[in-house]
Chains A and B, each alone.
Chain A
Amino acid sequence: MTEVNYIAEALKFMVLGMGVVFLFLVVLVQLIKLQASLIQKYFPDKAPITPIAPKIGSEDRDEEQRRVAAIIAAISEYSKNK
């Protein structure tokens, strides 16, 4: 039996192990990106639900509507993060 250098063996394990872990994660990252772009392409997010407000018409209401939209968005964001 030849003398085995265990530390050298352990270093080889390290190269293999870190290599496989990174390979796995790099492939995973690419798959996540691919998946995200495919999903965005074929199942685009539905347009954000517009706040229920009186029919769009007069220009002076525009500002008011934007404010309501902002408030609703803030509330939904807040309750989502709860």
Chain B
Amino acid sequence: MKIRQIFLLFALVAMSSFSFATEGSNLHHEAQEQSSHKKPYEPKTLSQLASSFWETTGINAIIDTNDGEMTSDPAGEAKERPMGAFESSLGRIIMIAIVFLLFYLAIAKGFEPLLLLPIAFGGLLANIPLAHMAGPEGMLGVIYNMGIANEFFPLLIFMGVGAMTDFGPLLANPKTALLGGAAQFGIFGSLVGAVALGFDLQDASAISIIGGADGPTSIFIANRLAPDMLGAIAVAAYSYMALVPVIQPPIMRALTTKEEREIKMGVQRKVHRLEKLFFPIVVLMLSILILPESTPLIGAFAFGNFAKESGVIDRLSDTMQNSLINIVTIFLGLGVGSKLAADKFLVLESLGIMIIGLIAFGAGTAAGVLMAKIMNKFSKEPINPLIGAAGVSAVPMAARVVSKVGAEARPGNVLLMHAMGPNVAGVIGSAVAAGVLLSIFK
């Protein structure tokens, strides 16, 4: 440690062995009696002070790989272990570089900044040496234990999304809901892929849910089926959601012809207010009968939507879709980001998760588009196959992407409302798929 020696030498030469004899030691004694666990203070030379200060600097923590620093885990000491040489040095630097890349994507490219920015900043904080922010007493660890480890935040997000969602487009053209079902092929197709890669069935199920493109659902499932992989799964799910505008369009263009992309869709019928009011109840009843496992998600979603459509508790529904979901988004982002710590994220599994997640996402998009092509063949009214891509449930990002690609093919062709149908059906579909996976491993 050359730097350290130079530093020490400097300190030594400058003030050779000063000793700070403590004055006011009476005061000190009293304080000691009050808190008996406090270590008795021993006089230190300035050089000792300087060297112990050096030990606590971040520079030293990164350079000195054998300092026995522990990893931090919100679950407490039971899950902590000494950091490896790579994790505490180069790994951290790599993760911080990744975090900066995420900042760039969020700010300059505008990819879901609401999610990406808090996650990335959480990742930055989690990689700070010695501060143990992701530990049970650190800020990130507290947030994590408060709402992610017990699946609370994902449900609150679902509530808010329910309160924001207008089911009108789905009610006006109900058969587009099937597109939201087809896109769930991404989940089950990549489940097979993950098993082929060597993940066990339970882990594979947790990973493949990324294909539903639904952050809250992914967290919910990962928590139940593979809590150790939650971080990588959540990060993969949210980063792919953020990358919807990058991942989806090439797949959509590859699977459709120009004529298909140019298809115009008719005007949607007007939806009666009562239809919208009853819809969340119908969905909830159906899921109670078929799949109670999925009711935590669908229940929260239905509550949010019912609050909105009832029209009598606008104050509450306004809170759900604005202030509450904003607060939870901050917490969720930081909490998920805490799993971007080098010791958690830079493992081979994460790479597998990222790859399978990408495949899952692509397969979901492709299945939705293909299903829409088939429906277009058999349907009386024309269906633009592009709207199938919105079947992955990233609301409303996927629908916006569909609209954009549609407008590229034929300027003035607005598919947004038509794409919202499969989009919101995708949310229901992925919650159902999640319920099926949970029921298998019950």
Contacts and interface: CB of A to CB of B under 8 A. Distances in A.
A32 B173 CA distance: 9
Contacts of B205: 13
Interface residues of B, number: 43
A20 B188 contact: no
Contact of A18 (B185, B287, B291): B185
B204 interface: yes
Interface stretch (A39-47, A53-61, A62-70): A39-47
A49 interface: no
B420 interface: no
B180 interface: yes
Contact of B290 (A6, A17, A24): A24
Interface string A5-39: 01101110110111011111111110111011001
A21 B181 CA distance: 6
B272 A36 contact: yes
A28 B428 contact: yes
Contacts of A20: 290-291, 432-433, 436
Interface stretch (B34-42, B87-95, B273-281): B273-281
A27 B432 CA distance: 13
B195 interface: yes
Contact of B282 (A7, A9, A25, A35): A35
Nearest to A27: B286
Contacts of A27: 286, 290
Interface residues of A, number: 29
B43 interface: no
Interface string B151-181: 0000000000000000000110011011011
- In this complex, which of B174, B204, B205, B278 has the most chain A Cβ atoms within 10 angstroms of its Cβ? B174
Contact of A36 (B275, B287, B425): B275
Interface in B257-298: 270-272, 274-275, 278-279, 282-283, 286-287, 290-291
A24 B274 contact: no
B429 interface: yes
B437 interface: yes
Contacts of B177: 25, 28-29, 32
Contacts of B181: 18, 21-22, 24-25
Contacts of B283: 28
Main secondary structure of the interface of B (DSSP, over half): helix
Nearest to B429: A21
A27 B189 CA distance: 23
B162 to A, nearest CB: 16
Contacts of A16: 436, 440
A54 B432 CA distance: 56
A26 B174 contact: no
Given A22-B181, A24-B432, A35 B188 contact: no
B191 interface: yes
Nearest to A32: B174
A25 to B, nearest CB: 4
- In this complex, which of A28, A33, A39, A43 has the most chain B Cβ atoms within 10 angstroms of its Cβ? A28
Contact of B174 (A21, A29, A39, A45): A29
Contacts of B101: none
Interface of B: 170-171, 174-175, 177-178, 180-181, 184-185, 187-189, 191-192, 194-196, 200-201, 204-205, 270-272, 274-275, 278-279, 282-283, 286-287, 290-291, 425, 428-429, 432-433, 436-437, 440
Interface of A: 6-7, 9-11, 13-14, 16-18, 20-29, 31-33, 35-36, 39-40, 43, 45
Q: Which 7 A-B pairs have the closest CB atoms?
A: A14-B188, A32-B174, A10-B195, A10-B192, A25-B181, A29-B174, A17-B436
25 contacts: A6-B201, A7-B192, A10-B192, A10-B194, A10-B201, A13-B201, A13-B440, A17-B187, A18-B181, A20-B432, A21-B184, A21-B432, A22-B178, A23-B290, A24-B291, A24-B428, A24-B432, A25-B177, A25-B178, A28-B428, A32-B171, A32-B279, A36-B171, A36-B174, A40-B272
Given A10-B194, A13-B436, A31-B286, 14 more contacts: A6-B200, A10-B196, A13-B188, A14-B192, A17-B433, A22-B178, A24-B290, A24-B432, A25-B425, A25-B428, A32-B171, A32-B174, A32-B177, A35-B282
